[in-house]
Amino acid sequence: MKFMRNALVGTTALCAATAVSAADLEVTHWWTSGGEAAAVAEFAKAFDDKTDHTWVDGAIAGSGGTARPIIISRILGGDPMHATQLNHGRQAEELIEAGLMLDLTDVAEAEGWKDLVNPTSLLDSCTVDGRIYCAPVNIHSWQWIWLSHKAFDDAGVSVPTSWDEYVAAAPALESAGKIPLAMGQQPWQSNGAFGVMAIAIAGIDAWSEVNINKNAEVAGGETYAKVFEAAANARAFAEKSNVQDWNQATNLVITGQAGAQIMGDWAQGEFQVAGQTAGQDYTCLPGLGVNEIISTGGDAFYFPKQDDPAIEAAQKEMAALLLSSEVQVNFNLKKGSLPVRGDVDLAAANDCMKKGLEILASGAILPDGNQTFSPDTTGQIEDLMVEFWNDPSYSAADAQARYAEIIADAD
Amino acid sequence: MAVTEGVRPVAERTSAKRPNRLFKNMTAKIASIPMILTALVVFIGCTLWTIYHSFTKSRLLPAPDKWVGWDQYERLWNTRRWLVSIENLAIYGVCSLVLSLVIGFTLAALLDRKIRGEAVFRTIFLYPFALSFIVTGLVWQWILNPQFGIQQVVRNWGWEGFTFDPLNNAEIVIYGILIAGIWQGSGFIMVIMLAGLRGIDQDIWKASRVEGIPAWKTYIFIIIPMMRPIFVTALVLIAAGIIKVYDLVVAQTSGGPGIASEVPAKYVIEKMFQAQNLGQGFAASTMMLVSVLVVLIPWAYLEFGGKRRD
């Protein structure tokens, strides 16, 4: 009898406990393309299965440029979501300083993030005054060019192995009725492609001098002049590509209408969804096949502060879960990105991801633009780049002069 | 009112102490306090707050103590994107104002000729107004898309060389947006005009017919001058639509190609939230306010200042 009563009391207590702790967490992100949606579904599934809480998906369509203002104005406006995606870097800097983000230091210590997260610069980006405020979930690098085998076969040229070979093959693509370079028209894409070309053409030293030390002399100098000329050249290749979104541009490459696209490794998810195989249907060249180096940008989850301690506990559970090995593997395989933990086994990774992992392991890494420039400076460079890439009358020299001006004022 | 004042004895008007104007209609004044407060705090207060912060180096959060003087304005007027935005708004504004009024009035005048099936046409013309700018923008993005839209249709009819691709041509992209804006808005202007035309006394028409004045002359020299208040209403509505044009551009071109179809409102939003530079966004929105005032103040002076004189 006593046992029965105890058991009953126990169940009631358990019920009460779950009733209190089960929370619906609204998560905002801008992962809406095919590959991205498949990846974020892994997070949602893991969170629903492994905890008592529910993942309420708050996807915002239209890339980070559209989603970030919505996310930030919601946090500032006193209607914060429970968790949100942002990029590694300085996008949430002021929100953290204003005390609007949940401190995750205790989770990080309990889970040992300091030893796990590789490269450590990712955790540094989350750290303000020694406290950790975000959970990095993946590493994305910009430095890739994706080449369509079908397009090059149709044009009767072999698939290039470096940027110079690609430039030489472009006229053949053009005469075969292909768009040599697929390019979406959103500002961040123009800026990203330019950054990739800068690393490949101007070299790592010049790139670091401009992007990390903000040296306007180098930005206006001869080494960078070559980059601007190459970009002006590439602009002509991309003239007929009039799509907006990056995944539409990737689709041009997948279907063989375009020869190539300079895009980060998230493009890989699209090839995967389309059922294509690396090395067979498409080729990826890190660093445009010139300088094999990758930048370690990517995504991190931030947890805006809530008043409710039950929700806070659920937020911390989610943070811990996002970095657990199994979730990291499942998510990153779908997303085509690299895991933030050095200790997980990605045997199922395809050729392109393996190349990325090798480069990551060799330590040939650079910080991402989002980590080195403030959003304001990034915005100014994006404005310049999107105009330069789309207006054939904007000369390389003029654009470079403006670029040097922005770098001189950069912060 | 005029009658009661007229019958009031002369003696009372001169001898009795004039009641304080402040306490006249006390209940009405008390009732309007919330609205007055809203106007003062929300409109004027927030405007002043914005103007003040446009002189600071506010980034993601307002920073009232980081005073930088005219720096934000200097940067604003040295930014190509802002200059392009202003130019686009001017083109869009002038064309949209003229075309909306002309098309709206013409359609209304045609409907007013007692045609058969007026209600059907009225519904058709007004229908686009029921759509939001976002939907309008997306619809016209498809219509103007060279692979699926007008260009392809005409090519399929046999004109192989036909080219009509405004959204991908930096020179004329703003007109592509203008087409969508006019399509969406002119039906509404038509309805307002039609209401105005219905308010015109039928005797005027009879008189002009007796005099043998042709219909178009009656419209231009008699009806339009009589419809002045209607035109002012339409003008205010169109002008408000012009200055805040944002979603149409976002849906149709996102400001592209390059920065060719940027507009000021988009610059403000993106600098404030995307580039996390509130100071710059406030400076730009203050310039928008100034441009509205430059138009509004002389107009208000003429409109209201003039009435008191006669």
One domain for residues A120 and A261: no
Mean pLDDT of chain A: 87
Which among B81, B170, B273 has CB closest to A72?
B273
**pLDDT at position B257:** 85
One domain for residues A189 and A325: no
**pLDDT at position B308:** 52
Cis peptide before B298 (omega within 30 of 0): no
**pLDDT at position A1:** 46
Q: How many domains in chain A? A: 2
**pLDDT at position B18:** 64
**pLDDT at position A7:** 53
CB contact under 8 A, A94 and B170: no
Where is average pLDDT lowest: A13-22, A226-235, B218-227? A13-22
The residue among B274, B277, B278, B282 with the most chain A CBs within 10 A of its CB, best to mutate, is B274
Q: Which of A344, A361, A378 is the last residue of a domain?
A: A361
The answer to whether residue A383 neighbours chain B at the CB level (below 8 Å) is: yes
% of chain B beyond a pLDDT of 70: 92
**pLDDT at position B54:** 93
One domain for residues A378 and A357: no
CB contact under 8 A, B277 and A376: yes
Which among B168, B258, B280 has CB closest to A391?
B258
CB contact under 8 A, B275 and A379: yes
**For range B32-55, the mean pLDDT:** 91
One domain for residues A397 and A261: yes
**pLDDT at position A198:** 92
Instruction: Tell whether A352 is covered by a domain.
Output: yes
Whole-number Cα distances in Å, B19 to B7, B15, B22, B23, B25: 19, 12, 9, 8, 11
Query: Which residues have C-beta within 8 Å of that of residue B141, sequence separation ≥ 6?
Result: B167, B251, B252, B253
Where is average pLDDT lowest: A224-238, A373-387, B8-22? B8-22
One domain for residues A403 and A286: yes
The minimum CA-CA distance between B259 and chain A, rounded to whole Å, is 5
**For range B252-278, the mean pLDDT:** 88
One domain for residues A375 and A323: no
* pLDDT value at A11 more than 60: no
pLDDT band at B23 (very low <50, low <70, confident <90, very high): confident
One domain for residues A99 and A220: no
Q: How many whole angstroms separate alpha carbon A247 and alpha carbon A267?
A: 7
* pLDDT value at B306 more than 90: no
Query: Bigger pLDDT: A369 or B4?
Result: A369
**pLDDT at position B165:** 85
The residue among B168, B259, B261, B271 with the most chain A CBs within 10 A of its CB, best to mutate, is B259
Read off the pLDDT of residues A65-107 as tens digits, 9 standing for 90 and up: 788 888 988 998 889 999 999 988 888 888 898 899 999 999 9
CB contact under 8 A, B81 and A383: yes
Chain B nearest-CA residue for A100: B61
Q: How many whole angstroms separate alpha carbon A144 and alpha carbon A263?
A: 6
Which among B146, B257, B275 has CB closest to A185?
B257
One domain for residues A87 and A236: no
**pLDDT at position B48:** 94
* pLDDT value at A246 more than 60: yes
The answer to whether residue B260 neighbours chain A at the CB level (below 8 Å) is: yes
DSSP string over A83-134: EEEEESSSTTHHHHHTT-B---HHHHHHHTHHHHBSSTHHHHHHEETTEE-E
Chain A nearest-CA residue for B78: A402
* pLDDT value at B166 more than 90: no
* pLDDT value at B292 more than 90: no
CB contact under 8 A, A242 and B269: no
Task: Kindly list the structural domains of chain B, giving each domain's residue range(s) and its CATH number in brackets, ordered by start.
Answer: 74-309 (1.10.3720.10)
CB contact under 8 A, A387 and B60: no
Q: Which two tokens stand for residue A388?
A: 């330069």
Residue ranges of B 278-307 with Cβ closer than 8 A to chain A: 280
One domain for residues A305 and A282: no
Read off the pLDDT of residues B213-224 as tens digits, 9 standing for 90 and up: 998 888 889 899
The residue among A387, A391, A403, A406 with the most chain B CBs within 10 A of its CB, best to mutate, is A387
In one-letter notation, the amino acid at residue A245 is D
Kindly state the greatest CA–CA separation across chain B: 90
Instruction: Tell whether A204 is covered by a domain.
Output: yes
The answer to whether residue A89 neighbours chain B at the CB level (below 8 Å) is: no
**For range B231-253, the mean pLDDT:** 88
* pLDDT value at B204 more than 60: yes
CB contact under 8 A, B61 and A378: no
One domain for residues A309 and A288: no
Domain at A329, CATH number: 3.40.190.10
Read off the pLDDT of residues A205-226 as tens digits, 9 standing for 90 and up: 999 999 999 999 999 999 999 9
**For range A371-389, the mean pLDDT:** 90
* pLDDT value at B310 more than 70: no
The answer to whether residue A6 neighbours chain B at the CB level (below 8 Å) is: no
**For range A258-266, the mean pLDDT:** 91
% of chain A beyond a pLDDT of 90: 50
**pLDDT at position A363:** 85
Mean pLDDT of chain B: 86
* pLDDT value at A4 more than 60: no
Residue A91 is part of which domain span? 24-140+297-361
**pLDDT at position A145:** 93
The answer to whether residue B142 neighbours chain A at the CB level (below 8 Å) is: no
CB contact under 8 A, B59 and A94: yes
The answer to whether residue B273 neighbours chain A at the CB level (below 8 Å) is: yes
pLDDT band at A347 (very low <50, low <70, confident <90, very high): confident
Q: Is there a contact between A410 and A378 (Cβ–Cβ < 8 Å)?
A: no
Say if strands A294-295 and A179-182 run parallel, antiparallel, or are unpaired: unpaired
3-state secondary structure (DSSP) of residue A338: strand
The answer to whether residue A65 neighbours chain B at the CB level (below 8 Å) is: yes
Let me know how many helices (H) and strands (E) chain A has, helices first: 21, 13
Instruction: Tell whether A5 is covered by a domain.
Output: no
% of chain A beyond a pLDDT of 70: 95
* pLDDT value at A307 more than 60: yes
* pLDDT value at B134 more than 60: yes
**For range A214-239, the mean pLDDT:** 92
Can you give the pTM of this predicted structure?
A: 0.81
The residue among B271, B276, B278 with the most chain A CBs within 10 A of its CB, best to mutate, is B276
Q: Which two tokens stand for residue A100?
A: 């609007």
The minimum CA-CA distance between B96 and chain A, rounded to whole Å, is 26
Q: Is there a contact between A293 and A216 (Cβ–Cβ < 8 Å)?
A: no
Chain B residues with CB-CB distance to A379 below 8 A: 270-271, 274-275, 277
Instruction: Tell whether A19 is covered by a domain.
Output: no
The answer to whether residue A186 neighbours chain B at the CB level (below 8 Å) is: yes
The answer to whether residue B207 neighbours chain A at the CB level (below 8 Å) is: no
Instruction: Tell whether A4 is covered by a domain.
Output: no
One domain for residues A214 and A252: yes
Scanning the structure block, which residue is given the tokens 């949430």? A92
Q: Is there a contact between A188 and A382 (Cβ–Cβ < 8 Å)?
A: yes
Q: What is the ipTM of this complex?
A: 0.77
Chain B residues with CB-CB distance to A244 below 8 A: 254, 256
Q: Which two tokens stand for residue B164?
A: 């009509």
One domain for residues A210 and A105: no
Q: Which two tokens stand for residue B60?
A: 């993601």
Chain A residues with CB-CB distance to B276 below 8 A: 72, 91, 94, 374-376
pLDDT band at A6 (very low <50, low <70, confident <90, very high): low
Chain B nearest-CA residue for A68: B274
Burial (Cβ within 10 Å: 0-12, 13-18, ≥19) of residue A202: buried
**pLDDT at position B171:** 87
